[in-house]
């Protein structure tokens, strides 16, 4: 394991080795008593638990619930963010009028809304969706706004000289420009949507991965907590890979990725 990184060995191998080293030392630590296995569990137990959940199928409804909630919050948050972002970018009066309210809304830590949403929308999925929407909305809103405001003047002028009406300008120039920003923030907004709904589930639900984790925590089952985290991380990685592919295809005209505003 010593010596400089070898170019013939792909970075993936090194990454895998690092992960294995981490898990082995964790395993060793908890078996030798250096780590208290009550608080830290051990990788082999977590693995067995995840495997158990998978083969009995008991985890699927929870995972499904979490991802449905995240998908709904993303869809609703993105659509409302695009619409409002578009409206404000096109109307400086609206932008000036709503600016302080949007600032206040964005400054509010979204977690504090969870209890109120629980009261309003109940223990079902909609209180989590509402929380997710408040997170996704702002990311998409700011990126849409910026995308439309940042469109290059000369491209707009060129389209107008070539005969574009106001509506054609929106379709051929403004929307594609905004999409760049929206899609480059896709990772962030989907990740945040999942975080928000899991937090919502954790605070009060009858289903979902967040609920599973909260249940395990309630009985001091650290193995269950780690297993819930593992399942969630795996799910997020798979969604992330899918988003990556979609993004690469949609932004194929771009030489490199734009940085999104968070």
Q: Which spans of this chain sit near other proteins (rule: CB under 8 A)?
A: 152, 154-155, 157-165, 168, 172-173, 176-177, 180, 252-255
Tell me the backbone φ, ψ of residue 67, rounded to 5 degrees: -75, -30
Exposed e or buried b per residue across 151-183, where buried means at least 16 C-beta atoms within 10 angstroms of its C-beta: beeeeeeebeeeebeeeebbeebbbebbbbbbb
Shortest Å distance, C-beta 252 to other proteins = 7
Shortest Å distance, C-beta 152 to other proteins = 8
Shortest Å distance, C-beta 143 to other proteins = 16
Please say which residue, 180 or 212, places its beta carbon nearer to other proteins. Answer: 180
Shortest Å distance, C-beta 169 to other proteins = 9
Tell me the backbone φ, ψ of residue 117, rounded to 5 degrees: -65, -35
Please say which residue, 76 or 169, places its beta carbon nearer to other proteins. Answer: 169
Please say which residue, 103 or 254, places its beta carbon nearer to other proteins. Answer: 254
- Tell me the angle at which helices 186-203 and 60-90 cross, rounded to the nearest 10 degrees: 130
DSSP 31-70: HHTSS-HHHH--HHHHHHHHHHHHHHT-SHHHHHHHHHHH
Please say which residue, 2 or 256, places its beta carbon nearer to other proteins. Answer: 256
- Of 201, 205, 185, 104, nearest to 144 by C-alpha is 185
Please say which residue, 103 or 171, places its beta carbon nearer to other proteins. Answer: 171
Q: How far apart are the first and last CA of the chain?
A: 39
Shortest Å distance, C-beta 74 to other proteins = 23
Q: Give yes or no for a contact between 63 and 235, defined as CB atoms under 8 angstroms apart.
A: yes
Shortest Å distance, C-beta 89 to other proteins = 18
- Of 133, 114, 99, nearest to 210 by C-alpha is 114
Please say which residue, 11 or 154, places its beta carbon nearer to other proteins. Answer: 154
Q: Give yes or no for a contact between 176 and 252, defined as CB atoms under 8 angstroms apart.
A: no
C-alpha–C-alpha distance, residues 72 and 130, integer Å: 9
Please say which residue, 174 or 239, places its beta carbon nearer to other proteins. Answer: 174
Shortest Å distance, C-beta 149 to other proteins = 17
- Of 150, 49, 144, nearest to 102 by C-alpha is 144
């Amino acid at each position: 394991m010593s010596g400089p990184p070898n170019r013939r060995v792909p970075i993936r191998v090194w990454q895998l080795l690092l992960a294995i080293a981490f898990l082995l030392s964790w395993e060793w630590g908890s078996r030798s008593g250096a780590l208290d296995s009550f608080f830290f569990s051990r990788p082999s137990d977590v693995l067995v638990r995840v495997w158990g959940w998978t083969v009995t199928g008991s985890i699927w409804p929870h995972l499904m619930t979490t991802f449905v909630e995240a998908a709904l919050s993303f869809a609703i948050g993105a659509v409302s963010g695009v619409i409002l972002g578009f409206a404000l970018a096109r109307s400086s009066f609206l932008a000036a009028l709503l600016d302080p309210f949007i600032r206040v809304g964005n400054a509010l830590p979204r977690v504090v809304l969870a209890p109120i949403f629980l009261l309003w929308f109940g223990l079902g999925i909609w209180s989590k969706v509402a929380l997710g929407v408040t997170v996704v909305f702002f990311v998409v809103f700011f990126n849409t706004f910026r995308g439309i405001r940042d469109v290059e003047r000369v491209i707009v002028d060129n389209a107008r000289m070539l005969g574009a009406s106001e509506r054609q300008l929106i379709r051929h120039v403004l929307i594609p420009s905004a999409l760049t920003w929206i899609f480059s923030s896709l990772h962030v907004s989907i990740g945040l949507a999942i975080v928000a709904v899991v937090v919502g589930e954790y605070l009060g639900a009858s289903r979902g991965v967040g609920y599973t984790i909260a249940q395990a925590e309630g009985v001091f089952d650290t193995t269950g907590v780690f297993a819930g985290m593992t399942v969630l991380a795996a799910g997020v990685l798979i969604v992330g890979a899918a988003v990556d592919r979609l993004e690469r295809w949609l932004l194929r005209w771009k030489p490199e990725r734009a940085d999104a505003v968070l």
